[in-house]
Structure 1
């Protein structure tokens, strides 16, 4: 991790820098700045993870740091000062911690540990959000099927039909494989309700219209799928199916 010390007192900067070097191995780089403006320049160029910030400085108070970052603060602030009356103001700015001069080694370690944990939690949250976005993109074309030994990600276009099997569902894939999924048929009907290619033709079947080869009017109407599977079409769905055919192909 990188850190920056902003303090107008050179001796205070060097003392804190030495304490960090001796007792805080997680800090790999330490930068220094003698006032807030110079410190802001370092933040923008070096992007430190933690900023140790003196509050009482001649030109500008450390409490004014947020004026330079109105939109986003992507570093953790630990205020360091000899005057504890600033504590309440400091924490109103969401400081990670507050250290009084002279800095106590134990309190310094605890403050850095707290900052590190917050940074790691933030990074994990960011990684999870990226993963969520990736899965959202994936879900636009694929569906997650919970098989007994894991999860199978199948493209919508590779599914020929879903078949009810009690509290489970048989999924027939275009490549000839059939999977037993640990979800009832209703789950997939709801999940794919916005996908116009899927049609519930019968209480036990939810089909991909892409794979319908023929509507057969013989011994009760049924749909002949591309894998030669005969799937019944209920009377209540018959007219709806014909309407879809007319709208699409005629």
Structure 2
């Protein structure tokens, strides 16, 4: 389990990677969405956050999104959408085969 530190003018906040549902890129900032419903803003690129979090739990599904695979609820193959447990729908541009290989799950 990795931890990330978010800095604001008033404080430093430490969060666990286990609490992150997904991250969304916004130019040189990244919004980090937590399972508590909070959104934190990091002054880092999505690429850098992806490197810091590692690829064991997080999947880069397109240029703008990094998702925690533990929070995936379903995958719509036809519309190429990943639905997360918080009902957020995120489009994926990686191939379905690559997405499923990164999930490391059994398919029935």
The two structures share one fold, judged by TM-score above 0.5: yes
1:221 counterpart (76, 80, 101): 80
Report the secondary structure of 2:44's partner residue: coil
1:98-177 alignment runs, 5 A limit: 140-147=1-8, 149-177=10-38
Report the Cα distance in structure 2 between the residues aligned to 1:148 and 1:160, rounded to whole angstroms.
25
Report the secondary structure of 1:176's partner residue: coil
Aligned 8 A contact 2:2 2:53 in 1: no
| Structure richer in helix, relative to its length | 1
Aligned 8 A contact 1:146 1:183 in 2: no
Structure 1, unpaired ranges of 5+? 1-139
**Aligned pairs, how many?**
107
Closer, same or farther in 2 for the Cα pair 1:243/1:177, shift >3 Å? same
In the alignment, structure 1 residue 239 sits paired with structure 2 residue 97:
yes
TM-score (norm 2): 0.86
Aligned 8 A contact 2:23 2:32 in 1: yes
Closer, same or farther in 2 for the Cα pair 1:238/1:151, shift >3 Å? farther
Over residues 2-27 of structure 1, what are the superposed CA-to-partner deviations in whole Å (9 max), with x where a residue is unaligned?
Answer: xxxxxxxxxxxxxxxxxxxxxxxxxx
Report the Cα distance in structure 1 between the residues aligned to 2:81 and 2:9, rounded to whole angstroms.
31
1:1-250 alignment runs, 5 A limit: 140-147=1-8, 149-193=10-54, 195-218=55-78, 220-234=79-93, 236-245=94-103, 247-250=104-107
Closer, same or farther in 2 for the Cα pair 1:163/1:209, shift >3 Å? same
Q: CA RMSD in A?
A: 1.8
| Structure richer in strand, relative to its length | 2
**Considering only CA atoms, is the larger Rg found in Structure 1 or Structure 2?**
1
